[in-house]
Structure 1
Amino acid sequence: MTDALAGRTVVVAGSTSAAGAAVVSALSKAGARVAAVDILEDRVRELAAAHDNVTGYTCNLADMDSVDKLAATVRSELGPVDGLIHLVGGWRGGKGIAGQSDEDWDFLHTGIMTTLRNTSRAFFDDLAESPVGRLAIVSAESVASPTADNAAYAAVKSAAEAWTLAVADGFEKEPEGAVTSAALVFVVKALLDERMRAAQPERKFPGFTHVDVVAEAVLEIFATDAGELNGRRIRLGTSSKAKADEALSGAQR
């Protein structure tokens, strides 16, 4: 797996989130050149300083001009991009359909969908031309079973999934021959990290996926054939590398 990532350049968007930090750490240890991107400058700087091969970038990913400048800078400093792990998001709920506010919709759409749309467009050519190009997002089980209270969140996550699958189709239509790039969706009930456990030590968090499992799954996709991943929705388990491996092997069958 280390060989698959050694010297590869991977952009992690939303890098200072719990999942983002776990993914950055795993990629760094695997030998990748990591572009850790977030809007929080101090936290990006701190994250980059804590790992080898990690360069921090501050960017408003909701602004396309800023993302284009980011892409040009990353290419100049780290080289063409081989991976984009998009972990920008957030959650807002409401009381019933009538309680889905415009403010919450704008927050979710901007944070989840607009940032994905911008980053995937800016880095698409790099990913399509890479021999191991990968785009991955994390989505939610609620997309398949939305509730009235969660309508806005589920709808925006559904749009993000559709966009990612459209990117997968774009990879299929790139230069003739075997597919070398893949866009895919990791599906979880919810994410879990150690701060959540510490805050509620009595809680069991049933069905939650630990951020370390997401990190392990990200490493695995670079060592898995693109043709077996492109356009897939992969349900991640609750814990351990074995669970991540099992999810990916299930997607390959």
Structure 2
Amino acid sequence: MIYHKYENPDGLNKRQLWLIATSAMLAQTNKERHDTLLPHGNAGTQTQLESSKMALKRDYDIEDLTGMADTLKYFDEIVTFKAFQFQWEMKSDKEFKAFSGINTIDKSYPNVVDMVQKYQFDLPESDQAWHYGRCAWLIRHAFFSGFIKEGEAWQLLEENAGRIREIFKSWERFGVSYIAGAQYWKRENYTEHAISSYKRNLIFLLTNKNSPWVQLGWGISGGISN
């Protein structure tokens, strides 16, 4: 796979680049730039623009700043895998085995039980990066689609990043939490293959010289502005 070079063609400051980097897991999935606010830089095509607009309207009901704000609020409040972690965090192995054997209509239930047992002590951040990482990506695409202005995009990215900074202490923890969210989302297809692409993206972001996470330390989130 050919990756975009990390060049910062628009001369953004480190704080701005860090805000963009919070969208990196999904941006990497879609082969988008990590060093420009616009997902494709200034090279975005009409086809890409139409695809972006259609996805925002169809999947998230985003057509303006109000829609974007409502989506951010929704992802901030929605409870998914974290609810199961909280409910079962102190259960014993015997209890987990009993849970797995419960006969329910929801065939993904045993897979969720297995996730909680595996992550109950090792993933206190749960799947929250899955929500906030996608929010950052949506903000970039809302700007690309013309639904919000550039200043509004930066402000929304900053607000979303504030939630991220409260929860996570490193890019690695952020990325692992994102994968947990993807795993929960694909819980009906509970296989290694189902989340293999997310793992490849995480390895790239933690090791490749063209990764924003390699270029920018997590500490920049604390207030460095240039």
| TM-score scaled by length of structure 1 | 0.24
| Structure with the higher helix share, 1 or 2 | 2
Q: Which has the higher contact order (CA 8 A, sep 6+)?
A: 2
TM-score normalised by the chain length of structure 2: 0.26
Greater share of residues in strand: 1
Pick the structure with greater CA Rg.
2
